[in-house]
Chains A and B, each alone.
Chain A
Amino acid sequence: MVVDELSDESVDRLFHALADATRRSILRRCVRGELSVSRLAEDYPMSFAAVQKHVAVLERAGLVTKQRRGREQLVRTDAEAIARARQVLDELEATWRGRVDRMARLLAQDPEPDDKTPKEG
């Protein structure tokens, strides 16, 4: 999936795919790409067909791929799409951790009004 070619339509599909708890659970479980649709279906309180449908939604959104192995179809999460969202949030977290540390350091420079010792940030 090429990032800068994401159309509105594919963004919609991505959001729709991620908006369901079962599908998010499937994504988490298929990172190693070792589970088949029928194996997955055993773990959810729904029919094989329903699980198959969820996998299809994820596949259309570019979040999973299916690979044939023997008679089975193995589902694998496309780590790249997930990784991009995670990466951006990780960077945002790092930015804010840096800011909070600097805030704490500034606050630690304040003269103490009473005998409380300043906690290091």
Chain B
Amino acid sequence: MSVTRVDKDLDNLTLTLIADFTAPVDRVWQLWADPRQLERWWGPPTYPATVEQYDLTPGGEVTYFMTGPEGDKHHGWWRVASVNPPTSLEFLDGFAHEDGKPNDEMPTTTMRVRLTEHDGGTRMELRSVFDSREQMERMAEMGMVEGLRQAVGQMDAQLDA
């Protein structure tokens, strides 16, 4: 397993996840820093991501959309707070309207990524913090819908196989 530790802090609405890879830090960094590689892991197989805008510099923006099984598009964005290749990245992660403009009604999370050398490979530490409780609650409502949609998507995939 790549994921070696997960911590959930219900009081501070924070998820911390540690994953270990055998690949070197530079290589793991490329998964984040190359939009074509990012597209291959950001969205689940049923919702692959397409990166539109990609500016990984402080203040820069990344915009993308994920395409669902019905051709439905779900837009998202990052606003880069800080970036220190190849070891750290911090950004605000949010949802967007169809025209790509940030959807302020939807929850945002602050994401921090840290890559360090570990046992000849790379340790990736992720921290994701919900920016407000209210937004988190909204996410809960959405999550139920999304979870259902994903479950249905998986059933479809199994039926097709």
Interface residues of B (CB under 8 A from A): 1-3, 6, 8, 10-11, 13, 15, 17, 19, 21-23, 27-28, 31, 37, 40-42, 44, 109, 121, 124, 126, 128, 130, 132-134, 136-141, 143-144, 146-147
Contact = CB atoms under 8 A, between A and B. Distances in A.
Interface of A: 3-4, 6, 8, 11, 14-15, 18-19, 24, 82, 84-93, 96-104, 106-107, 110, 116, 118-119, 121
17 contacts: A15-B133, A84-B140, A88-B130, A89-B10, A91-B143, A91-B147, A93-B17, A97-B17, A99-B42, A100-B17, A101-B2, A102-B40, A103-B21, A103-B31, A104-B2, A107-B23, A107-B31
Contacts of B141: 3-4
B145 to A, nearest CB: 11
Contacts of A93: 6, 8, 15, 17
B136 A85 contact: yes
